[in-house]
Amino acid sequence: MNKFRQLGIDEDILSSIENLGFSEPTEIQQKAIPVVIQKKDLIAGSATGSGKTLAFGAGIIQHIRKGAGLQALILAPTRELAEQISESLKTFAKHKKLTVVSIYGGVSLNPQFSALQKADIVVGTPGRILDHMQRETINLTKVKHLVLDEADRMLDMGFLDDVRRIMSQCPKEKQTLLFSATISQDIRDLSRNFMIEPVNISATPMVDPSKLKQVYYQVSGPLKFSLLYHLLANDTKGGLVMIFCNSRQMVETVAKNLKKNGIDAMGVHGGLSQNRRSDTVSGFNKGKITALVCTDVAARGLDIPGVSHVYNYDIPNDTKQYVHRIGRTARAGKDGLVVNLLSQRDHENFGKVVYDHKDFKIERADPPVVKRIETSAASSNARGNGRGMSRSSFRGGDRQDGRGRDRMRTQGERSRPFERREGGSSASRGPSHGGSSRSSDARPQGSGFRSRGGQGGPSRSSFGSRGSSDNRSHSSDRSRPRMGGNRSNSSNRRD
């Protein structure tokens, strides 16, 4: 507690922190809290799980007077995050009895009108905040603290214009705090336009890399679900599991089939009603649900303690998302396992992960023999989505082998695209390997992905050094219909 006290935190807030059982400030808290207390502008590079809420919350709460109007506005990318931040702030502000209100879309406006009248602190998503601004149902004239939480994510989600409009409508005399895992040009521009001599700090996330193990399985498309089921059903450690998919439809389908096969699973994505999402997430927090199947957006920033495994059912297209996903486990000194299930259509994205994160050790895991499970597509209740996905498209997104065998190895013997024999071909990713604008000759020979070997494969392996047969299989993969691919109907939305 002394270390918190040294940062200049009020006794009231210190006692709330003590009640929460925090013994020491995290790195970002150590660096940010004194700056926030001094009312300086701040740009903080800080990942999910690093303890940002208290990092900005402690100082802000200290400066807020109950009943003196809306004094702090916190913008967050998703409804769940807004909800979570406001719950945390309420706990930190318990002794001051501040009124903290969360404001987001997808729920009725009416209760928000009256709540906004009484709020000392508002935590909201940009779209709905702007909506209230246009209706003149939010009064920003007293705002003294503005926080952009997970700013990179907010911009990724297309909120740049909304954020700019909100920032420009807040009083000039105020403190602006910007937290982001990555600092892009847009974020620099925002800070140049709206911040005054900001202090720059950054902190490493709470995830402990030595506690994190990452593996991948090669599996043919039609057997991917069976492998997932097998791994979950044979997991003896227990614990909470997050399963990431790239589209709403895939979330629905995976969750449905897990449930059908007796696994306690729930899906969350942006197409579900707010109540359903909140119920699901709180069920997960209380340990009722053992597997949460989710899209990146729905999961982003949710603080779910005790996630033992992260499964990537689809590999994200954006390697930053991969980092966010794995940040869900191995928190606070606990062990964590990340399991990547790679079928043909994931190879390109996985290649990007491996290329961008040469520091990650992602080991190839021996494919178990799995019993094939028949699956069916979810009825299409990814909201706003008119079309369901046919069973064959779920099972056969990249089908390449025949059906009929009941028990089979999950990995076809034919292709092992993440490996190469000693002295294999060039390590560059050729131009035919679409999707990447990176210069292929930037990659040094033999760099990139290495498995540790000793797991049934060649001892030295490198991603990206594929022979021509592999390139062929990629292009044919692209021409097939994909699950969670590029079609623009909302079933493929990523939130």
The residue ranges that bind ligand ADP (CB under 6 A) are: 22, 24-26, 29, 46, 48-54, 301, 303, 305
**Which residue pairs from 375-380 have beta carbons closer than 8 angstroms and sit at least 24 positions apart in sequence?**
375/225, 375/253, 375/257, 376/256, 376/257, 376/260, 377/249, 377/253, 378/249, 378/252, 378/253, 378/255, 378/256, 379/252, 380/249, 380/252, 380/491
DSSP type of residue 317: S
In three-state secondary structure terms, 117 is helix
Regarding 52 and contact with Mg ion (CB under 5 A), the answer is yes
Distance of CA 349 to the CA centre of its chain: 16
Rounded Cα distance, 211 and 189, in Å: 37
3-state helix/strand/coil string of 446-471:
CCCCCCCCCCCCCCCCCCCCCCHHHH
Instruction: Output the smallest distance, CB 24 to ligand ADP, in A.
Output: 6
- 74: its two tokens: 């916190």
Question: Alpha carbon of 231 to those of 219, 249, 407: distances in Å?
Answer: 13, 22, 15
60 or 353: CB nearest Mg ion: 60
| Residue 125, amino acid | T
Instruction: Output the smallest distance, CB 53 to ligand ADP, in A.
Output: 3
Buried b (16+ CB within 10 A) or exposed e, 346-367: bbbbbbbbbbbbeebebebbeb
52 or 230: CB nearest Mg ion: 52
55 or 365: CB nearest Mg ion: 55
Rounded Cα distance, 484 and 475, in Å: 17
22 binds, among Mg ion, ligand ADP, none (CB under 5 to 8 A by kind): ligand ADP
18 or 374: CB nearest ligand ADP: 18
Distance of CA 460 to the CA centre of its chain: 31
182 or 447: CB nearest Mg ion: 182
Instruction: Output the smallest distance, CB 11 to ligand ADP, in A.
Output: 17
Rounded Cα distance, 229 and 265, in Å: 11
360 binds, among Mg ion, ligand ADP, none (CB under 5 to 8 A by kind): none
Instruction: Output the smallest distance, CB 302 to Mg ion, in A.
Output: 9
Q: How many residues bind Mg ion (CB under 5 A)?
A: 2
Instruction: Output the smallest distance, CB 302 to ligand ADP, in A.
Output: 9
DSSP type of residue 218: E
Site track for Mg ion across 264-303, x = CB under 5 A: -------------------------------------x--
26 binds, among ligand ADP, Mg ion, none (CB under 5 to 8 A by kind): ligand ADP
Instruction: Output the smallest distance, CB 3 to ligand ADP, in A.
Output: 9
54 binds, among ligand ADP, Mg ion, none (CB under 5 to 8 A by kind): ligand ADP
Instruction: Output the smallest distance, CB 320 to ligand ADP, in A.
Output: 15
Instruction: Output the smallest distance, CB 490 to ligand ADP, in A.
Output: 28
52 or 213: CB nearest Mg ion: 52
25 or 388: CB nearest ligand ADP: 25
25 binds, among Mg ion, ligand ADP, none (CB under 5 to 8 A by kind): ligand ADP
Q: Is residue 316 a contact partner of residue 299, using CB atoms and an 8 Å limit?
A: no
94 or 142: CB nearest ligand ADP: 94
Chain residues in the site for Mg ion (CB under 5 A): 52, 301
